[in-house]
């Protein structure tokens, strides 16, 4: 039996120069083992994208990708990031049940 999970995605921006409105799909679902791609548009050329995961409402978010494609220590290798132009993409290869949650993309000023 395949388990379905729901990934809810939200956008936010931070940093002194980031004024763009970031947009993402509101939600998506996937079956365990599938590859999931979440895109976020509106990243400015001087910004770098970050992706954050919140598993439980009210808990603090965990950064899964920063500086477009860097993965913090302890984050599984199935999480990867990329950016092209004004669009950033989070890819989860072989999504697992524990990946269910809310995902935020953020643009951070990287010009200073």
Q: Return the CATH number of the domain spanning residue range 4-109.
A: 2.60.40.10
Indicate if the pLDDT at residue 22 is higher than 90.
no
Contacts of 84 (CB under 8 A, 6+ apart): none
Q: How far apart are CA 105 and CA 19, in angstroms?
A: 14
Q: How do residues 31-43 score in pLDDT, each as one tens digit? A: 889 999 988 887 7
Q: Where are the alpha helices (DSSP H) in 65-104?
A: none
Coil, helix or strand at residue 42: coil
Map tokens 């763009």 to a residue. Answer: 20
Quick one: which of 62, 96, 60, 63 has its CA closest to 78? 96
pLDDT at 110: 60
Instruction: Name the phi and psi angles at 107, rounded to 5.
Output: -105, 130
pLDDT at 100: 87
Buried-exposed string 52-86: b where 16+ CB fall within 10 A, e elsewhere? bbbeeeeeebeebbbebeebeeebeebbbbebeeb
Identify the residue with better confidence: 99 or 21. Answer: 99
Q: How do residues 48-101 score in pLDDT, each as one tens digit? A: 888 988 887 788 889 999 999 999 999 999 999 999 988 889 999 999 989 888
pLDDT at 20: 44
Q: What residue ranges do the domains of the chain occupy?
A: 4-109
């Amino acid at each position: 039996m395949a388990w379905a999970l729901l990934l809810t995605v939200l956008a936010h921006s931070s940093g002194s120069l980031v004024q763009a409105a970031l947009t993402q799909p509101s939600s998506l679902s996937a079956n365990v083992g599938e590859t999931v791609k979440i895109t976020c548009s509106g990243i400015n050329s001087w910004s770098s994208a970050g992706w954050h995961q919140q598993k439980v409402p009210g808990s603090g978010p965990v950064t899964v990708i920063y500086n477009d494609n860097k993965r913090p220590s302890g984050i599984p290798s199935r999480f990867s990031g990329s950016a092209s132009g004004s669009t950033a993409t989070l890819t989860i290869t072989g999504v697992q049940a524990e990946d269910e949650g809310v995902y935020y993309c953020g643009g951070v000023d990287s010009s200073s």
